[in-house]
Amino acid sequence: MEAMMLLRGLYAIWLREITRATRDRAQLIGGVSRPLIWLLILGVGLNPYFRGEIYGEVRFVIPYTYLQFLFPAVIVLNIMYTSIQFAVSVIWDREFGFLREILVSPMPRPLILLGKVLGGSTIATIHGGLVLILARFADVTLSLQQMFTALGLMFVLAFGLTSFGVILAARVRSFEGFGVFSNTIILPLYFTSSSVFPLDPALTRTQMVTAYPEWLVFLVQVNPITYAVDALRGVIIGFNQFPPTYGLAVIFGMAAVFFVVALIDFSRS
Amino acid sequence: MNETAITVHDVTAHYGSKKALDQVNLTVPTGAHFALLGPNGAGKTTLVNILCTLRRPDGGTAVVAGADVIARPTQARRSIGVVFQDSSLDDRLTAWENLEFHGLVYGMAAKPRRAMISTVLELVELGDWTHEIVRTFSGGMRRRLEIARALLHRPKILFLDEPTVGLDAQTRQRIWQYLDRLRRESGLTVLTTTHYIEEVENADIVCIIDHGRIIAEAPPEQLKKDHGIRWLHVVPQDATAAEAIVQRFPQAQRLSGTGLALPAGDDDRTDAFLAEFRDRLSEIRFHPPTLESVFLSLTGRELRDRADGQRDADRAAGRRGGRR
Ligand SMILES: Nc1ncnc2c1ncn2[C@@H]1O[C@H](COP(=O)(O)OP(=O)(O)OP(=O)(O)O)[C@@H](O)[C@H]1O
Ligand SMILES: [Mg+2]
């Protein structure tokens, strides 16, 4: 009985996020246009330069087209934008008073946060899933099983990043502040996640450092998004630059750690 | 059933170094209509926030519907309905979606939820607006929807923080009739805050609060009897006359505008005053004891005397549930 009541509340909080998202035209347009721009313009434009032949001796051995290589990264990009943008929903609740309606209800704090984060991750996963519609165009074929594994990973990634958005929201006072903030976070993380260029596994470490400056390699290696992109690439096109367990560990680790931090933040307020 | 709905004992609250509540004590019997009357900034909203568990008191204890708000907030939350001073609706959802959300969060099953949603929508006459987005609602409609929402889960105690702002007389009357019925039939306790004297005339108990302190608590008639005196309101012809009056009669209170008020008790000071100043006054009027005059004699101030800017700033802060 008690559990049933709590489930209803959880469902209500989740459903509210979904309803609000479907009424937010701007966010939907962003979710659709972003993958189109990245895949159609950047992907198609750089596709011819990606094959090893043009580099002569040092051959890149990645047996994929640039579009295929980029495809999983664009999914991650879409998830990142939507998840981190979720902070706006949290700030909105706080600034426009709706938070009080939730806080005076008998719902326990952790469930309130869980409902919100689940709502945000669902929306982000859907936005990531929009990219999958372009699979045929990027020359990526997915079995049903690959598709579900990918969606599962996407959801866990979205869960972690949405929690991260909630953590940011607790530290940002205004909407304006947040807009600047999110752009200075998302794009650098994306570019240094080996999303748009590979760290060629065929090269030894010395060769890699010759090809790329050491600081860049360092940035790529410490960026958790690198491993998330890598895991998704492993599932979608069967190419990994790191041991596949790294990616899984990072994705699940982020989800757990960020949610716990968000929970601590939320219970304190 | 418990005889007291709310017990507040020595509750203190501050914002930084500023004291908002100073050792507040009060008791609200079950089924009563309890009105908290005080000027802007008196601490009414702060007290309501503490009672509905949004804010922890910095000292003292409060028990709401048998549950201590600090030790067992969840249990207290189950029994209360709250209408905040500022809107806490989601204006991107429809009226129905807002109510559905509320019903679900309070764990109501589908059938009673749907039934109650139509009942409360009917009560506030928003039936035709059920599926409209709240953003398109007028201020009064939002207010009505919030009152409907607070009643949806059949709370035992209803907190209304300045509920009637923006409501027309008919709606106000309708809602009070409904609340009175609930009080009679199911022992609903209603706590309202207001700075409109007219609103508390019908309350069972009026509690006057100023600068975070309770300065009187009694039924309205009792208050008038104990603290009410006749007041003489005068408008001096010019500023020099006003100055002279204040010089001679230091007990005169300045009213908003150019008026002055003097206590007009049974002594002959009133006669002395009139004899001296009758030619320098443009208007004189006697006021029988009202709650307004009770307030004036208790606090030395009129009720509505604070600048609006201050109030708006406070309200913006209050909206965040006490967070800055
Ligand atoms: N978030 C806040 N930060 C700092 N001070 C606050 C805050 N909220 C209220 N105060 C101060 O606490 C005092 C009590 O405020 P409160 O909102 O409880 O008054 P009120 O009686 O509800 O007034 P009103 O009739 O304007 O709603 C005021 O002096 C106000 O300036
Ligand atoms: Mg107030």
Q: Which CATH superfamily is domain B4-224 in?
A: P-loop containing nucleotide triphosphate hydrolases (3.40.50.300)
Q: Do B105 and A107 touch (CB under 8 A)?
A: yes
Q: Is the model's pLDDT at A60 over the cut of 80?
A: no
User: How many angstroms separate the CA atoms of A16 and B13, rounded?
Assistant: 34
| Alpha carbon of residue A130 to chain centroid | 13
Give the CA diameter of chain A.
70
User: How many angstroms separate the CA atoms of A7 and B104, rounded?
Assistant: 9
Burial of B206 from C-beta contacts in 10 A (0-12 / 13-18 / 19+) = buried
Q: What residue owns the CA closest to ligand 1's atom 28?
A: B41
Query: ipTM score of the complex?
Result: 0.87
Token pair listed for A137: 């165009």
Contact B149, B98 (CB under 8 A): yes
Distance from first CA to last CA of chain B, Å, rounded? 39
User: Which tops the pLDDT comparison, A205 or A92?
Assistant: A92
- pLDDT of the residue at B320: 46
User: How many angstroms separate the CA atoms of B165 and B120, rounded?
Assistant: 19
| Nearest-CA distance B271 → chain A (Å) | 54
Mutate to test the pocket of ligand 1, among B15, B21, B51, B196 (most ligand atoms within 8 A of CB): B15
pTM (two decimals): 0.83
The structural domain count of chain A equals 1
Q: Cβ of A100 under 8 Å from any chain B Cβ? A: yes
Q: Please provide the average confidence, as pLDDT, over all residues in chain A.
A: 86
- pLDDT of the residue at A210: 64
Q: Is the model's pLDDT at A180 over the cut of 80?
A: no
The dihedrals phi and psi of B14, each to the nearest 5 degrees, come to -130, 155
The dihedrals phi and psi of B22, each to the nearest 5 degrees, come to -125, 100
Tell me how far CA of residue A104 lies from CA of A108, B49, B156, B287, in angstroms: 10, 9, 14, 43
Cβ < 5 A residues, ion ligand 2: B 44-45, 85
Token pair listed for A8: 């209803």
User: How many angstroms separate the CA atoms of B70 and B47, rounded?
Assistant: 14
When computed from its CA atoms, the radius of gyration of chain B, rounded to whole angstroms, is 22
Question: For A2-22, what is each residue's pLDDT tens digit?
Answer: 889 999 999 999 999 999 999
| Nearest-CA distance A147 → chain B (Å) | 33
Q: Which DSSP letter does residue A126 get? A: H
Question: In the A/B pair of chains, how many CB contacts fall below 8 A?
Answer: 86
| Nearest-CA distance A105 → chain B (Å) | 6
Contact A116, A27 (CB under 8 A): no
Bridge-partner residues for B36, per DSSP? B193, B207
Q: Is the model's pLDDT at A205 over the cut of 70?
A: no
> Is domain B227-309 annotated with CATH 3.30.70.1150?
yes
Question: A14, A100, A171: which to substitute to probe chain B, counting the most B Cβ within 10 Å?
Answer: A100
Residues from chain B that touch A12, judged by Cβ atoms under 8 A, are 100-101, 104-105
Ligand 1 geometric centre to CA of B46 (Å): 6
| Alpha-carbon dihedral sign for residues B102, B107, B108, B114 | positive
Token pair listed for A69: 């290589």
Question: For A230-254, what is each residue's pLDDT tens digit?
Answer: 999 999 988 888 888 999 999 999 9
* Confidence bin at A100 (pLDDT 50/70/90): very high
Q: What residue owns the CA closest to ligand 1's atom 9?
A: B314
Which sequence spans correspond to the domains of chain B? 4-224, 227-309
Burial of B275 from C-beta contacts in 10 A (0-12 / 13-18 / 19+) = exposed
Mean pLDDT of A188-201: 80
* Closest partner CB to A100 (pick from B84, B97, B100): B84
Q: Is the model's pLDDT at A54 over the cut of 50?
A: no
pLDDT truncated to tens, each residue of chain B (324 aa)?
Answer: 568 899 999 999 999 888 999 999 999 999 999 999 888 888 999 999 999 999 999 999 999 999 999 999 999 999 999 999 989 999 999 999 999 999 999 999 999 999 999 999 998 889 999 999 999 998 889 999 999 999 999 999 999 998 777 788 888 888 888 889 889 988 999 999 987 777 787 889 999 998 899 988 888 888 877 777 777 888 888 888 888 888 888 878 788 778 888 877 766 778 888 888 888 888 888 877 777 777 777 777 665 543 343 444 444 444 444 443
Domain holding A225, by residue range, is: 2-268
| Alpha carbon of residue B174 to chain centroid | 19
Question: For A156-178, what is each residue's pLDDT tens digit?
Answer: 999 999 999 999 888 877 777 77
